[in-house]
Structure 1
Amino acid sequence: MKIAFCTAIVLSTLAVAPASARERNDSPHSQACMAKNGFNLDMWRAHSAGTDAQVLRYIQCRDRVSAAQAKAIGIRDHNFSAGYR
C-alpha cells in the first residue's frame, strides 16, 4: 500500500512539473535544439551560448513552448543578458 501511495505522489509531481524541469540540457533533444541555434552544451554551460534571441529560440525548442513562455522561463532561470527584458 505504501509503495502505491508513494508511486502516485511521484507521478503526480512529474505531471505538474514544468517542461524546463523535465527536459535536461544534456538530452539528445536539447542538444539538437542547441545545434539548431548555433551553440553546444559546453557553450551553454559556460554562459556563452550566443545572443539572447538564440537562447530564446533554444528554450522555445527545448521546452516546446511559445516565445512568451520561453522568455519567462529564461528570465526565471537567468539565461539572458542583464539588459534583456
Structure 2
Amino acid sequence: MDERFGDDCLLGLADFSHVDVLFLFDQTTERPDYRSRRPRGRTDLPEVDVFADRGRRRPNRNSNPLTFGSRNGPVGS
C-alpha cells in the first residue's frame, strides 16, 4: 500500500461484503506501433485494428478486477 494513505487506510473495510480490487501495471512498456494486423499472423483472417484484437498488444495497463468476499476469498473476476 502506498505510504501516503497512512497505516489506517483500510480501517472499516472488513464491514463491506465485497471489495473489487484493480491493478494497474505501471511498469509495462507500451508498443510504439499499433497498426492493424491479422490475428495470430494468419493470412486467412481479416486485418483488425488494435481494439478489435484479442491479443496482448493492446494499450491496456489494467488487469481484470477481482472481487473478494469478506471471508471467503475470491468470488469471481
Shared fold per TM-score greater than 0.5: no
Which is strand-richer, 1 or 2?
2
Q: TM-score, normalised by structure 1?
A: 0.22
Q: TM-score, normalised by structure 2?
A: 0.23
Bigger Rg, which one: 2
Which is helix-richer, 1 or 2?
1
